[in-house]
Amino acid sequence: MSVDPAPVLRMVLSSEHDVFVLRQRGREVAAALGMDYQDQVRVATALSEIGRQVPGAEVLFAAAAGPRPHLVIVVSSAALGNQNLEGVRAAGRLMDEVRVEDERIVLTRRLPAQVDAERVGQARAELAESSPTTALDELSVQNRQLVAALEEVQAHRDELLHLNAELEETNKGVMALYTQLSEELEQTNQGVVALYAELDERSAQLREANEAKSRFLANVSHELRAPVTAIIGLTRLLLDPRSEPLTSEQTHQLDLVQGSAADLLARVNDLLDLAKAESGRIEPNWGPIDLAAVFGQLRGTLRPLARPEVELAVDEPPAAGLVSDELLLTQILRNLLTNALKFTDTGTVGMGAWVDGERLYIAVADTGLGIPFAEQARVFEEFHQVRGARQAGGTGLGLPYARRLATLLGGALTMVSEPGEGSTFTLSLPLRPAVPEVDDDGPLPQVERALVVDDDPAARHLLRQLLAGIAGQVSEAADVRSGLAIAVREHPSVIFLDLRMPGGDGTELLADLAGLDDVAGIPVFVVTAADLSDFRADELAHARSVLVKEHLTRRAVVDLVAGIAR
């Protein structure tokens, strides 16, 4: 609801002097209506700006109470149209609204919320009683206002100076802190760099010490092996029924010597194996592995070691198509099984295998002594044997050696054991060896295209791996007929050929190739596990060379291809 403004005061600007009166009255009206000091000055200044330019004008002060109380000042003058209304713009900045209509200017400014009709009435009464003062009075009021304004400006400036000083001090503090932190950071960095240098040096020293240890082990083992072998040989000679007869005591003593020497030789061999594995001198002989045969052989040879109360249960392994080193794999498993049989008095020693993704897992589990938790990490350390456990001979080298071999084969050996309940050792191996690391110094020999003819997919896969980086493309054939077809079609630069294949021997392909001018010149390498004495020399005459599958290594392939690429 809007309430019509009620007049509070009326006046006419009859002379120049009245501009001062207008200013003064404006301030008085503002004060009577409860405006604060600043607003009073605003109203007074706005009116004096306008009053200067409208001599003879009539000025009406009115106040509207109601929900949004406001002051309305109407300045009416017939001469308004001709005026340069610069003062109106100035007043506009001081009031809420300044509107110029036909012959009047209307200025509005909000009043405090509590101004009501009663307060407006009181203001009107107060103003009716007060009389305007002189120009001089108004000038002194203005002066006072100016002084007050100046004081306020000064106070603001002082406060600003104070704030600036504080800010500068804070800045200095921040800079000091920053410098200190930077220095600390630099010092820490230097420390870290020094630490790393020391670490590098330490690990170089460790590496050297480790290499020295491996060299020492290898040398000592070699040196020990010769005399021990001699002792065994000589003892055998003495015990030979064809030698001079011995007393039964002498025979008994020599039996003991022979037994001890055999033990000693076994230990020395353990040492030598480990030294070789550590120095990386064992290079796996990759080849397809018949897991069932390996498991069968281990079952057969180790069963006699089991105590009567222990069952050796070797499961049938899955047909995994594993490509690895049969000898090394057998050594690892024999080691694990021998330990299990050694440390199990009753129950079972079992071995089983399964495939998961691209890996084969073989677990050897027993229901034996188990290994105390505190010792579990240490049993893979060289020479470590569990203290307090039954002394069962051994060197403490079996497990570290097995783990080394597992690593060499691209796999890992892990263990879980519950003291008193038993242990499970799990070997995980990649089904296929990773692309072999090339340790050749020079560049690899290069051929455009190779053909591999072999019925065994694992063997083909192995060759493909061994040819990585050497042959631009590798084609595969699973039998002689498709081998010939591919050879004629693709003209490979080299052929790797298996001998024993269902549906036709490799020798037939050799003969067929030799009979066709087009392909007769392609070098063929025979790679076979077959017994070569089964073949006549002329059957293999067209082969560039014959390689036993066991000797098929990266090195061998590099050398063979280098021979033809030259």
Q: Which residues here bind ligand ADP, judged by CB under 6 A?
A: 339-340, 343, 366, 368-371, 379, 384-386, 389, 394-399, 423
CB of 397 to ligand ADP, least distance (A): 6
Closest to ligand ADP by CB, 375 or 498: 375
Nearest 5°: phi and psi at 222?
-60, -45
Q: How far is the CB of 314 from ligand ADP (least distance, A)?
A: 16
Rounded CA separation 425/333 (Å):
10
Residue 118 one-letter amino acid:
E
Strand partners, 494: 450
* Token reading at 350: 């079992």
Dihedral angle sign, alpha carbons of residues 163, 166, 171, 177: negative
Shortest separation between residue 496's beta carbon and ligand ADP, angstroms: 40
Closest CB to ligand ADP among 368 and 411?
368
Least Å from the CB of residue 343 to ligand ADP: 4
Question: Among residues 366 and 498, whose Cβ is nearest to ligand ADP?
Answer: 366
Give the count of beta carbons closer than 10 Å to the beta carbon of residue 372. Answer: 16
Least distance from C-beta 335 to ligand ADP, angstroms? Answer: 6
| 61, two tokens | 């002060």
Cα–Cα distance, 545 to 213 (Å, whole number): 41
Q: Which is nearer to ligand ADP, 370 or 433 (CB)?
A: 370
Taking the least distance from each CB to ligand ADP, the nearer of 386 and 447 is 386
User: Could you give the CA distance from residue 287 to residue 284 in angstroms, rounded to a whole number?
Assistant: 9
Shortest distance in whole angstroms from residue 341 CB to ligand ADP: 8
Q: Which is nearer to ligand ADP, 3 or 389 (CB)?
A: 389
Give the single-character DSSP code of 4.
P
Q: How far apart (Å, rounded) are the C-alpha atoms in residues 27 and 44?
A: 5
Q: What are the CA-CA distances from residue 41 to residues 27, 91, 109 (Å)?
A: 6, 12, 12
Query: CB-wise, 353 or 560, nearer to ligand ADP?
Result: 353
**CB-wise, 261 or 340, nearer to ligand ADP?**
340
- Nearer of residues 271 and 513 to ligand ADP, judged by Cβ: 271
CA distance 207 to 169: 57
Write down the least CB distance from residue 464 to ligand ADP, Å. Answer: 37
Query: Which H/E stretch holds residue 75?
Result: strand 70-76
Helix (H) or strand (E) run with residue 9 in it: strand 6-12
Question: What does the DSSP 8-state code read for residue 549?
Answer: G
Nearer of residues 330 and 545 to ligand ADP, judged by Cβ: 330
Q: Are 395 and 271 in contact (CB under 8 A)?
A: yes
Cβ–Cβ under 8 Å, residues 29 and 125: no
CB of 365 to ligand ADP, least distance (A): 9
Minimum distance from residue 262 beta carbon to ligand ADP (Å)? 16
In the chain, the amino acid numbered 341 is L
The amino acid occupying position 196 is: Y
Looking at the Cβ atoms of 119 and 403, the one nearer to ligand ADP is 403
Which residues are registered as beta bridge partners of 76? 58, 104
CB 288 → ligand ADP: shortest distance, Å? 29
Smallest distance from ligand ADP to CB 366, Å: 5
Structure-token match 């200017």, residue found: 105
Tokens of 203: 């690990």
Structural contact between residues 454 and 547, judged by C-beta atoms closer than 8 angstroms? no
> What DSSP string runs through 383-415?
T---TTS------S-HHHHHHHHHHHTT-EEEE
To ligand ADP, the closest distance from the beta carbon of 426 in angstroms equals 12
What is the rounded distance in angstroms from the CA atom of residue 208 to the CA atom of residue 222? 21
CB of 381 to ligand ADP, least distance (A): 8
Answer yes or no: are the C-beta atoms of 331 and 377 closer than 8 Å.
no
In the complex, what is the shortest distance from the CB of residue 299 to ligand ADP, in angstroms, rounded to a whole number?
Answer: 17
Cα dist from 193 to 108, 186, 204, whole Å: 75, 10, 17
CB-wise, 220 or 514, nearer to ligand ADP?
220
Cβ within 8 Å of residue 191, ≥6 positions away: none
Nearer to ligand ADP, 287 or 370 (CB): 370
- Residue number, 287 or 400, with CB nearest to ligand ADP: 400
Q: What is the layout of strands, in order, in the sheet containing 97-100?
A: 6-12, 58-64, 70-76, 104-110, 97-100
Q: How far apart are CA 47 and CA 87, in angstroms?
A: 9
Strand partners, 417: 423
